[in-house]
Structure 1
Amino acid sequence: MTFDFNAYLRQWRTDGAGARRDILAGIVVALALIPEAIGFSIIAGVDPRVGLYASVAIAMTIALIGGRPGMISAATAAVAVLVGPLVRAHGVEYLFAATILMGLIQIVAGLLRVHLVMQFVSRSVITGFVNALAILIFLAQLPQLTHVGWQTYAMVAGGLAIIYGFPRLTRAVPSPLIAIVVLSAISIGLGLPVHTVGDMGKLPEGLPGFALPQVPLTLETLRIIFPTALTMAAVGLLESLLTAQIVDDMTDTDSDKRQECAGQGGANIVAALFGGMGGCAMIGQSVINVTSGGRSRLSTFVAGAFLLFLLAVLGPWVGRVPMPALVAVMIMVSIGTFSWNSIRNLRRHPPTSSAVMLATVIVVVATRDLSMGVLAGVLLSGIFFAAKVQRMFAVERLLSAEGDVATYRVAGQIFFASVDRFTRAFQAERVATAVRIDVSAAHFWDISGVAALDKIVARLRREGRAVEVVGYNRASADIVDRFALHDKTGVELGAVPH
């Protein structure tokens, strides 16, 4: 894979208006990252600094080496829920070591082109993933909306009014940023009794320091961290690749998924070396960035750099930002992320596609595990596809005028899901002394299909019948010649029988 330096520079360069949008979008994202990172640190059972420093390091690093400009990566819940047992059993230093190993696995995955497995994720699964994530984002805001005073509800409503109303006046400044600034000024000025960012956890002071994990370099350490690191790497790549596809669709652009895999690995290694936990792409913050005008690598870098500035310089002021302002932003993200067309399409799309989408949503929301939902959707898609292709199969029997030669014309796909019907089609042959199997309209896909043909030919010959198979296409002839036991093609490849 060659590196196009000019193309890379274009992913940074924007005109004056574009640069302003990227910078302002990055600022909005940085503010939205703070409560999320603190919350994920609590889930993982570590100090808030671990999640915040991770978000800084991952965002800034992925802006440099990632494959999807404008996408936001940071500490995430999907990874945080995996590391709690490791932290409780062995301590945070083992988490840092596991995160470095996670990054190395992701780099190897990029070199091995693991991103190509995304070709097997159907559009219905992606839609279900998006809808489920929108629901989870909304549900995550409910703790900030329960057992609170009327001031919280009023501020959330006011924030939503600004977010959706301000663009009618001007789009020069992202409306979520205006909402955060205005509501913060009102909350601080009036001393309103609402939750603030500081209530989520103590914000760190100063800059993160570079340090290697303080763990013994032994096989025992590898045995301890490898299962967690492998799971973190797999979940992180899955969520990052799905988010990259969603951002591709939102911006009508393409991205380098292979580079994104390796970039995620490099970003996680940097995060661990600066005292951070593992992370991956965040669809919520990516949607904030894109809808706020962020398109280039600059917006992602600004998100990380401004978050670092907030933590190192403006920590006390950031701690006073009211949570209702950020809740309003995340509700906007939830509304914007959900695919509302998918509801109308439930009756228009094939029932199997709608079932896959709904199953993905239900599993994700029920388990709070995005990877489990995607896995369920992919498996269900595979089952429906196999059933559909299995029905695209037919066998027609023609008997010669003399009644001694039976010609079977096979049409369709012969693979593991259709071999039973293929075999049964020949079980009733009791008349002809010679059998001609015409497969010119069929295709053999796997060794199950070849084994079924073997079985048919062997049985008919045991019964004393002459058997001839004709009409193989090139691919079918190749797999039959390689794996058949009783019959080879013996015909010119691609020949069509008369």
Structure 2
Amino acid sequence: MHSSPLSRYRAEWFNGVGDARRDILAGMVGTFALIPEVIAFSFVAGIDPEVGLFASFIIGIVIAFAGGRPAMISGAAGSVALVAAALVHTHGLQYLLAATLLAGLFQIIFGLLKLDVLMRFVSRSVRTGFVNALAILIFSAQVPQMLHVTWHTYAMIAGGLAIIYLAPRLTRAIPSPLICILILTAISIAFPMPIHTVADLGRLPASLPAFTLPAVPFDGQTLRIVAPYALAMAAVGLLESMMTASVVDDLTETASSKARECTGLGLANVAAALFGGIAGCGMIGQTVGNVRYGGRRRLSTLVAGVFLLLVMVPLRPWVAQVPVAALVAIMIMVSASTFSWGSIRDLARHPKVSGIVMVATVIVTVATHDLSAGVTVGVLLSGVFFAFKVTRLMDVRANYDPATDTRTYTVTGQIFFASAEIFADRFDLRDTVAHVLIDLTASHLWDITAVGALEDVVTKMRHHGIAVEVIGLNAASAILVDRLAPTVGSPVA
């Protein structure tokens, strides 16, 4: 018996006190993992840290209700910040808010049109490369916090990692990263030492975000300025969110609505812009951390957003004292658990082209610090390798019958833009036989290039006085030929 949409949605929020406790604690860990990256990404975009923090709070609240993937944490992310930096540099924050508003509208349209199906073109090799590259980027983002510091910082990081990995042996009631934060903060307060704290990362907000419209002229000139950036922010945000949702699908062995995630992200970004925040998207490092420590439902996403607000304002003096070393230890753990270590072994076992696609995705992503660039290269390589593979499966065999002076060409495989030229080269256009029979029973014509190649072969043979007949067209191929090259079907010289 199928459950109603309302009951399924309710189950995505609550499934017992024990699960609720795990979701709440995991969401709190996600918040602490969110803070340093959001502040760092804010600097990348050239904006004040509170703009990124406000955005992450608003996005977290909205996406908890409107998103399509429970347990996914979204916020102001680095990939979007990289796109936004140029706009902020040339036109300022208000134009960024306008671009964020427009990017959200683009994403809503994307979701309503259900264009999330484009994710089907992202192969498993690309997804693995995406995850591995992200793990490397998460770790590399912690390196600046480990340079030019005293031995106290290294000791705190080592102690934090020990707590994270050993605490679960004693209790799993409280996520070990949260225990790490509490213990290291207590130590740093009790024994003052020269280490960086969250207060050193940037100014935390002292008040709640307020509703405001972007202070820009709402005219054609503004649209021309912000539209290209908005489209890029929308595309990058959707790509990263869809990839993150797919990773969580695999981790939790559950399905999610990618179209709803697109629409939900759009609504979240529109809300973020109206409260003075930058556009955001799914954050895979924080999401994986949330899932690893028990977050499975929308409650964990909501807690991550709400707790961020508590952290930003009422608990600001306490959070300011959290050692950065504790956050670095958490992100190192997330990096190690995110990386697909089995993919290194699979390089020797899987087809070489799959390994090339995975490695290329990693290299481009790490080199550019742009997840969309890496995924784009991976998808293009997958498409090229697939086209080559399908092309090799296409074959044309010729057989001559002297009794009827007929040469029969039996075609097998797929004929499309990548194989059409090879298909055409297999025919002797200056043959001296009276009749030619082209048997397409075991083949399929996919596009205008394939039909054009067949039409050229038939036309040239008939020009040399050969009677040509095409047989075996399946229904789809026949419709394409009748519409694009109707003379092909006539078996006359």
Q: Is the CA contact 2:429–2:457 (under 8 Å) kept in the aligned structure 1? A: no
| Mapping 1:432-451, distance limit 5 Å | 432-451=433-452
| Mapping 1:20-99, distance limit 5 Å | 20-99=21-100
1:392-444 Cα distance to aligned partner (Å, 9 max, x none): 01111111133611111111111111112211111265231100111111111
What residue ranges of structure 1 are gaps of 5+ in the alignment?
A: 491-498
Give me the identity figure in percent.
Answer: 58
Distance in 2, matches of 1:96 and 1:430, equals 68
What residue ranges of structure 2 are gaps of 5+ in the alignment?
A: none
Distance in 1, matches of 2:254 and 2:386, equals 29
- In the alignment, does 2:426 pair up with 1:413? no
1:15-66 Cα distance to aligned partner (Å, 9 max, x none): 1110000000111111111111111111111111101101100011100100
Structure 2 partner of 1:343: 344
Q: How far apart are 1:88 and its partner, in Å?
A: 2.2
Structure 2 partner of 1:473: 474
Distance in 1, matches of 2:62 and 2:257, equals 16
Distance in 2, matches of 1:404 and 1:144, equals 81
Distance in 1, matches of 2:54 and 2:78, equals 15
| Mapping 1:282-431, distance limit 5 Å | 282-402=283-403, 404-427=405-428, 430-431=431-432
Distance in 1, matches of 2:7 and 2:109, equals 26
Q: How far apart are 1:256 and its partner, in Å?
A: 0.5
| TM-score (normalizing by structure 2) | 0.97
Residue identity matched to 2:235: A
Q: Is the CA contact 1:69–1:295 (under 8 Å) kept in the aligned structure 2? A: yes
Residue identity matched to 2:71: G
Q: How far apart are 1:489 and its partner, in Å?
A: 7.2
Structure 1 partner of 2:158: 157
Distance in 2, matches of 1:284 and 1:317, equals 24
Distance in 1, matches of 2:433 and 2:488, equals 20
| TM-score (normalizing by structure 1) | 0.96
Q: How far apart are 1:89 and its partner, in Å?
A: 2.1
Comparing 6-15 with 195-204, greater Cα deviation is found at 6-15
Q: How far apart are 1:480 and its partner, in Å?
A: 1.1
Residue identity matched to 2:343: S
What secondary structure does 2:281 align onto? strand
- In the alignment, does 2:244 pair up with 1:243? yes
Comparing 220-229 with 301-310, greater Cα deviation is found at 220-229
Distance in 2, matches of 1:489 and 1:277, equals 62
- In the alignment, does 2:23 pair up with 1:19? no
Q: Is the CA contact 1:403–1:431 (under 8 Å) kept in the aligned structure 2? A: no
Distance in 2, matches of 1:466 and 1:74, equals 67
Distance in 2, matches of 1:111 and 1:266, equals 12
Structure 1 partner of 2:261: 260
What secondary structure does 1:170 align onto? coil
Structure 1 partner of 2:485: 484
Q: Is the CA contact 2:430–2:464 (under 8 Å) kept in the aligned structure 1? A: no
Q: Is the CA contact 1:100–1:272 (under 8 Å) kept in the aligned structure 2? A: yes
What is the RMSD of the two structures over their aligned residues, measured on CA atoms? 1.2
Q: How far apart are 1:92 and its partner, in Å?
A: 1.1
Q: How far apart are 1:199 and its partner, in Å?
A: 0.3
Structure 2 partner of 1:493: none
Residue identity matched to 2:167: F
Q: Is the CA contact 2:469–2:490 (under 8 Å) kept in the aligned structure 1? A: no
Structure 1 partner of 2:207: 206
Structure 1 partner of 2:223: 222
Q: Is the CA contact 1:457–1:486 (under 8 Å) kept in the aligned structure 2? A: no
Structure 2 partner of 1:460: 461
Q: How far apart are 1:479 and its partner, in Å?
A: 1.1
Q: How far apart are 1:210 and its partner, in Å?
A: 1.2
Residue identity matched to 1:46: I
Distance in 1, matches of 2:131 and 2:57, equals 25
What secondary structure does 2:487 align onto? coil
Residue identity matched to 1:175: S
1:296-350 Cα distance to aligned partner (Å, 9 max, x none): 0000000010110111101111111000100000000100100011000001000
Q: How far apart are 1:166 and its partner, in Å?
A: 1.1
Q: How far apart are 1:488 and its partner, in Å?
A: 2.6
Structure 1 partner of 2:129: 128
Residue identity matched to 2:260: Q
Distance in 1, matches of 2:196 and 2:255, equals 40
What secondary structure does 1:487 align onto? helix
Residue identity matched to 1:392: L
What secondary structure does 2:437 align onto? strand
Q: How far apart are 1:5 and its partner, in Å?
A: 2.3
Distance in 2, matches of 1:342 and 1:440, equals 41
Distance in 2, matches of 1:10 and 1:56, equals 24
Number of matched pairs = 488
Distance in 2, matches of 1:178 and 1:489, equals 79
Comparing 204-213 with 334-343, greater Cα deviation is found at 204-213
Distance in 2, matches of 1:83 and 1:437, equals 56
Structure 1 partner of 2:149: 148
Structure 2 partner of 1:496: none
Q: Is the CA contact 1:404–1:431 (under 8 Å) kept in the aligned structure 2? A: no
Comparing 420-429 with 194-203, greater Cα deviation is found at 420-429
Distance in 2, matches of 1:384 and 1:168, equals 47
What secondary structure does 1:486 align onto? helix
1:133-160 Cα distance to aligned partner (Å, 9 max, x none): 0000000000011111111111111111
Q: Is the CA contact 1:59–1:73 (under 8 Å) kept in the aligned structure 2? A: yes
Distance in 2, matches of 1:278 and 1:50, equals 10
